[in-house]
């Protein structure tokens, strides 16, 4: 939680002004289909779109697959229910694409291509003017091959257009009463598997079970179980490593992750790093 | 050569007082302390030192093995 508070505090003084730009942009489009995961960004975007345009002009769509965490799915549904957000769920099945399952460093391109190939026709069929996603201003410089797929399908990113950073989005989410405002980032489960190592349903289930077991032990905030085959490498918030390093707690971490199906367990000494496996693979932004 | 990197890293750690075996998985190093030795993982400075030694040897990630007994 401490990390999140710091991030909110770093929001610019004019996050409300940027939100006004976002509202203006949405009203200019008139109606939108939101690619919706229930994460911090897409939940905020859907909420603002709903407030700006009304329920008849907004449709949030969840793309379901094995790489989408069940916990995230539950959150997405709960937030949509809280907001009375029109919601549609579609199976995407990106694991059926061998180019995705081979897990190249541009894996996200194939995932997002599959997603937008399914969602763009839905928007057309329902007469929605624009398909939008939750890419924010902080994402723009990152290595994100999925962004190319969005571009190719004409998907727009109004949070980035309005210059809204993650900190802005958290701050405004809190102001709007969204339960997602302090939610840790939760990229897809495939992001826990090193590039070049195949993505399978079994591996995704094992990762999800290990992370759930760690949450059940009381691990909070950013957490990743990186899947290195028979070895699980746990990344905790750096501030949490001290607490979990007591001998009895380490044993509980190890037992929880072994219970999910890993033979060996290790604790990363640097702790959680977003894009950690990009570093391992030598993939850089730009 | 991950094997060479591992041996050199293990040697660095031994000089720093931690007798251990280092297992290399590409650029990930897994540190297995010898029986009777342990790294004070709760100590930020000690942890950063170990990570720094690993990076000097070419590892991008350094992790400590969690044994059955929590070692």
What are the sequence ranges of the domains in chain A?
Answer: 15-182, 189-281
Looking at the predicted structure, is the pLDDT value of residue A2 above 90? no
Least CB–CB distance from B27: residue in A238, A251, A280: A280
List the CATH code of the domain at A15-182. 3.40.50.620
Q: Are A232 and A226 in contact (CB under 8 A)?
A: yes
Nearest-by-CA chain B residue for A251:
B70
Cβ distance of A280 and B26 shorter than 8 Å: yes
In the predicted structure, residue B3 carries a pLDDT above the cut 90: no
Cα–chain center distance at A268: 22
Rounded alpha-carbon distances, angstroms, from residue A157 to A107, A145, A160, B42? 20, 15, 6, 42
pLDDT at A7 > cutoff 70: no
Strand pairing partners for A156?
A132
pLDDT score recorded for residue A185: 83
By mean pLDDT, which of A154-158, A204-208, B40-44 is the weakest? B40-44
Q: B3 to chain A, minimum CA–CA distance in Å?
A: 17
Higher pLDDT: A183 or A25? It is: A25
Place of tokens 């840790």: A184
A32-35, strands of its sheet edge to edge:
A87-91, A58-64, A32-35, A130-132
The whole-number average pLDDT for the span A264-284 is 81
CATH number belonging to the domain at A189-281, selected among 3.30.1760, 3.30.70, 1.20.120, 1.10.760: 3.30.70
pLDDT band at A10 (very low <50, low <70, confident <90, very high): low
Look over chain A and give the mean of its residue pLDDT values, rounded to a whole number.
92
A267/B64 touch (CB, cutoff 8 Å), yes or no: yes
Q: Tell me the β-bridge partners of A226.
A: A233
Residue A286 pLDDT exceeds 80:
no
Q: Do B64 and A228 touch (CB under 8 A)?
A: no
Mean pLDDT of A132-160: 92
Q: Residue ranges of the alpha helices (H) in chain A?
A: 2-9, 15-29, 40-53, 70-83, 98-101, 107-125, 145-152, 158-161, 166-175, 201-217, 238-244, 247-259, 276-281
- Per-residue pLDDT at A11: 60
Say what percent of chain A tops pLDDT 90: 84
- Judge whether A275 and A250 are in contact, CB under 8 Å: no
pLDDT at A285: 39
pTM confidence score = 0.86
Give the rounded distance of the alpha carbon of A194 from its chain centre.
18
């Amino acid at each position: 939680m401490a990390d999140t508070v710091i991030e909110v505090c770093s929001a610019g003084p004019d996050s409300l002004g940027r939100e006004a730009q976002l509202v203006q942009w949405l009203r200019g489009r008139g109606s939108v289909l939101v690619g919706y995961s229930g994460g911090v960004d897409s939940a905020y975007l859907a909420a603002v779109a709903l407030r700006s345009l009304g329920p008849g002009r907004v449709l949030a769509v969840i793309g379901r697959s094995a790489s989408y965490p069940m916990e995230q799915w539950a959150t997405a549904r709960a937030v949509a229910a809280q907001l009375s957000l029109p919601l549609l769920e579609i199976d995407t099945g990106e694991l059926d694409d061998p180019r995705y399952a081979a897990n190249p460093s541009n894996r996200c391109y194939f995932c997002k291509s599959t997603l937008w190939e399914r969602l763009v026709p839905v928007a057309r069929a329902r007469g929605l003017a624009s398909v939008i996603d939750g890419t924010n201003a902080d994402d723009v410089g990152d290595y994100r091959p999925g962004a190319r797929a969005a571009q190719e399908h004409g998907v727009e990113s109004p949070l980035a257009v309005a210059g809204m950073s993650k900190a802005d989005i958290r701050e405004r989410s809190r102001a709007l009463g969204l339960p997602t405002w302090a939610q840790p980032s939760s990229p897809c489960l495939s992001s826990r598997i090193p590039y070049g190592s195949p993505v399978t349903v079994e591996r995704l289930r094992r990762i999800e079970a290990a992370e759930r077991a760690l949450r059940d032990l009381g691990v909070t905030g950013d957490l990743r179980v990186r899947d290195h085959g028979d070895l699980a490498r746990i990344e905790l918030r750096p501030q949490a490593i001290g607490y979990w390093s007591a001998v009895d707690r380490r044993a509980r971490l190890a037992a929880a992750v072994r219970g999910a199906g890993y033979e060996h367990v290790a604790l990363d000494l640097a702790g959680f790093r977003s894009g950690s496996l990009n570093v391992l693979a030598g993939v850089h932004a730009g | 050569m991950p094997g060479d990197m591992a041996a050199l890293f293990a040697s660095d750690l031994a000089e720093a007082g931690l007798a251990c075996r280092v297992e290399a998985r590409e650029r990930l190093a897994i540190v297995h302390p010898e029986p009777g030795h342990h790294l004070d993982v709760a100590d930020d400075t000690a942890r950063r030192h170990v990570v720094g030694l690993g990076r000097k040897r070419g590892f991008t990630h350094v992790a400590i093995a969690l044994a059955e007994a929590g070692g």
